[in-house]
Amino acid sequence: MLSSRPIARNSGVLSARRDAIVLAILITAVLLLIWNGSTFFSHVRIDGSFASDVRVASTALTLNVALILFGWRRYIDLQHEAEVRAEQDRRAALLATTDPATGLFNRKGFADRATQLCLEAGARGDNLIVISFQIHRFKSVNDQHGYEAGEWFLRSIAAALPLELGEEALIARLSGDEFAVALPLGPSESDRAEDLADAVLRTVARPLMLDDRIIQVGAFAGIASAPAADASIPDVLRRADMAMDRARSGRVTRPVWFDAGMERALIAHGEIEQGIRFGLDHGQFVPYFEPQVDLATGEIVGFEVLARWNHALSGVIGPDVFIPVAEEIGLIGRLSEQVISEALREAAQWDSGIKISVNISPSQLADGWLAQRIVRILAETAFPAERLVIEITETSLFSDMDLARSIVTSLKNQGMRLALDDFGTGFSSLAHIRSLPFDIIKIDRSFVTNVTAKKENVAVIRAVTTLAAALSVPVCVEGIENEEAYSAVVRLGGTIGQGWYFGKPMPAEQTRELLAARSRGEQPPLSAAANG
């Protein structure tokens, strides 16, 4: 599959220099031979004897013959040297364009050969099709069977792909588990491109036997196309990679075609990422406070802190836009700590009976220094630990239960309160309540939506409130947004309510005004206000 490359320029220069040197030596030797030969014969006497300087001429003639022999030997040596250098250049060119593990093209070789392919296909009016695919769980092959088994597996795939795709397909291994295929197809052959991508996925997913062990993995594939006449190989490959990333993120087991929306989403993602970095440096992420109300009295007993992005151009941006990106780029911890610090600094001035609840992301819960970080924030903001409630979701406990238990216990020992958030959405809720020292159970808002219309939601809320009452643990019900939901939650035994029925999340200034008005008796309890 690998095309030969011309001999490198330095080999050509060496060859020309060699020929010039040898030619000069031979011409000089021949001219001297002719001159000495004429000298020799011009000094021969009639009687056949020689003049006194004939011996000198004969010696020169002998040296000329030796010079010719030396020149020829040097010519042979230089020719061998040029052949060795040409072989070295050929090997260097091969190594520069070939993946040593599989014998396929590497990224450079793929770009070079695909460029030639475009020139040929462009003359016929064809399109260039690029299939980018990534082996799923390839790392587990190395971890379970060793790196030698991993290389054997890659070589097996590299040998099988040309048989499935045909000789016209250009196949490359771009990195550890990422590959690409390029081939020319007619403008109306998009179905064939998808069939070839399906063939790639089947080939990669085919089980292989190694020493009585079955090795089987999966793959994700993306397809991009462009007219071959004006195709940019890096651009087409980048688009195929975007499509492959979409397939991987969505766990789509069929090939995904690139569309312009993917590129727009990637650009938007990049802009959000840069905006997050800028916003963190310039204090643009601020806390908003959502009221938590005692369902029996209607009094505010706490606030949940929610992050908002106070963007200079776009205004206030909700967390669904920036939280996933911050988690992906590893900045969720810094963002969360910045918002928590600002919230606690503000809430330190409020009524000492009001609790402040903050959410901890799964990635933060994997940080063994989380407790120390929160204690530092408490010290910097002069906020009492007993007024702080740390909300932890069930799903964040699954990855490393021992580490989660250690961190949760450490937080509890520092005097903070713990809430099990989104209760009921996980798989081991009762086990978590028994094994971890939670002070509050928060029922997920999904059980409150249409609570009167769905009997199963009523059953879940009743079961949780009954269990919590037996454990003397208060229940906070999220997502109360109307009178009907409020009445149902009160009837089912909820202790604390939270949702837009009591008030939307508000900035610090508005929260201060609300608390000040309530302290002056200018506003009734929120449940009564909502009913009124």
The pLDDT score that the predictor gives to residue 244 is 94
pLDDT: which is higher, 452 or 18: 452
What are the CB-based long-range contacts (under 8 Å, 24+) for 116-119?
116/3, 117/170, 117/182, 117/183, 117/184, 117/228, 118/228, 118/229, 118/231, 118/233
Beta carbons of 285 and 339 less than 8 angstroms apart: yes
pLDDT surpasses 70 at 174:
yes
Residue % of the chain over a pLDDT of 70:
79
Confidence band, pLDDT 50/70/90 cuts, at residue 204: very high
pLDDT: which is higher, 469 or 60: 469
The pLDDT score that the predictor gives to residue 457 is 84
pLDDT average, residue stretch 292-321: 93
Spatial separation of the C-alpha atoms in residues 455 and 451, rounded to whole Å? 7
pLDDT surpasses 70 at 176:
yes
* Chain segment 269-302, per-residue pLDDT in tens: 899 999 999 999 999 999 999 999 999 888 999 9
pLDDT surpasses 90 at 382:
yes
284-531: what fold? TIM Barrel (3.20.20)
The pLDDT score that the predictor gives to residue 93 is 64
The pLDDT score that the predictor gives to residue 24 is 64
pLDDT average, residue stretch 180-190: 87
pLDDT surpasses 90 at 1:
no
Structure tokens at 182: 């390029």
Residue % of the chain over a pLDDT of 90:
42
pLDDT surpasses 90 at 182:
yes
Confidence band, pLDDT 50/70/90 cuts, at residue 34: low
The pLDDT score that the predictor gives to residue 125 is 86
pLDDT surpasses 50 at 79:
yes
pLDDT average, residue stretch 460-480: 88
User: Chain-centre distance of CA 466, in angstroms?
Assistant: 45
The pLDDT score that the predictor gives to residue 4 is 35
- What is the C-alpha radius of gyration for the chain, rounded to an integer number of angstroms? 39
* Chain segment 388-405, per-residue pLDDT in tens: 999 988 777 766 677 878
Spatial separation of the C-alpha atoms in residues 78 and 71, rounded to whole Å? 10
Q: Which of 478, 481, 483, 522 is catalytic?
A: 478
Confidence band, pLDDT 50/70/90 cuts, at residue 249: confident
Residue count of the chain? 532
pLDDT average, residue stretch 132-142: 90
Across 63-67, 132-136, 248-252, 461-465, the highest mean pLDDT is recorded for: 132-136
Nearest to 417, CA basis, from 431, 436, 399, 434: 436
Beta carbons of 25 and 71 less than 8 angstroms apart: yes
For residue 218, give the H/E element and its range. Answer: strand 218-227
pLDDT average, residue stretch 255-261: 92
The pLDDT score that the predictor gives to residue 365 is 83
pLDDT average, residue stretch 174-200: 89
Pick the CATH number of 107-258 from 3.30.70.270, 3.40.50.720, 3.10.129.10, 3.40.190.10: 3.30.70.270
For CA atoms 260, 264, 267, 272, the dihedral sign is negative
pLDDT: which is higher, 51 or 277: 277
Spatial separation of the C-alpha atoms in residues 217 and 504, rounded to whole Å? 48
Q: Which residues pair with 210 in a beta bridge?
A: 213
pLDDT: which is higher, 166 or 384: 384
Beta carbons of 355 and 292 less than 8 angstroms apart: yes
* Chain segment 417-449, per-residue pLDDT in tens: 999 887 766 554 555 566 677 899 898 888 887
Confidence band, pLDDT 50/70/90 cuts, at residue 507: very high
Look at 73-87, 113-127, 220-234, 319-333 and tell me which has the smallest mean pLDDT. 73-87
Average pLDDT, the chain: 83
User: Where in the chain are the domains?
Assistant: 9-97, 107-258, 284-531
The pLDDT score that the predictor gives to residue 242 is 93
pLDDT: which is higher, 323 or 12: 323
Look at 3-12, 27-36, 89-98, 435-444 and tell me which has the smallest mean pLDDT. 3-12
The pLDDT score that the predictor gives to residue 13 is 53
pLDDT surpasses 50 at 250:
yes
pLDDT surpasses 60 at 10:
no
pLDDT: which is higher, 338 or 137: 338
The pLDDT score that the predictor gives to residue 94 is 62
Known catalytic residue: 167?
no
The pLDDT score that the predictor gives to residue 7 is 38
Confidence band, pLDDT 50/70/90 cuts, at residue 19: low
Confidence band, pLDDT 50/70/90 cuts, at residue 37: low
